[in-house]
């Protein structure tokens, strides 16, 4: 979901599975308690297909299983970003990394500049 729809009880960042039933497409959502909600896909205001999510897009969400791939990105990878990825997993976390990338990642901290 990329937009809230309060009448349907679905919100920006929610993820769903799409299934076909009776020649119609449905979005199937599961809330944090595991309760299932189904809505006709044509009623969903704004959504995107996601076979995978970036760490940034996954912020605020939890998943049973998370797989993360770290590739050398020159300062983009920080220990805070890795922490965000790791804490999305409720059950299993799998990390794929190029040699040395993990070490560089955990030794890089976000530098914040603020006048506060």
pLDDT digit string (tens) for 70-114? 887 666 788 888 999 999 999 999 999 988 898 888 888 777 666
Residue 58: the pLDDT is 84
CA dihedral 17, 43, 34, 81 (to 10 degrees): 60
Domain identity same for 42 and 85: no
Is the pTM above the cut of 0.75?
no
Domain assignment present for residue 112? The answer is no
How many domains does the chain fold into?
Answer: 2
Pairing of strands 16-21, 89-97: unpaired
Domain around 81: 55-106
Domain assignment present for residue 114? The answer is no
Q: Minimal CA–CA distance to 62: which of 34, 39, 97, 28? A: 34
Domain identity same for 62 and 101: yes
Q: How many residues does the chain have?
A: 116
Domain assignment present for residue 23? The answer is yes
Domain identity same for 38 and 64: no
Residue 110: the pLDDT is 78
Domain identity same for 37 and 66: no
In the numeric block, which tokens belong to residue 9? Answer: 């009880």
């Amino acid at each position: 979901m990329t937009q809230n729809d309060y009448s349907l009880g679905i919100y920006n960042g929610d993820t769903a599975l799409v299934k076909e039933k009776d020649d119609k497409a449905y979005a199937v959502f599961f809330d944090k308690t595991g309760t299932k909600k189904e809505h006709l896909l044509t009623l969903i205001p704004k959504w995107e297909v996601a076979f995978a999510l970036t760490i940034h897009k996954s912020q605020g969400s939890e998943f049973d299983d998370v797989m993360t791939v770290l590739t050398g990105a020159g300062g983009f990878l920080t220990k805070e970003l890795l922490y965000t990825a790791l804490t999305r997993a409720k059950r299993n976390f799998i990390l794929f990394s190029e040699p040395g990338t993990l070490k560089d990642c955990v030794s890089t901290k976000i530098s914040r500049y603020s006048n506060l």
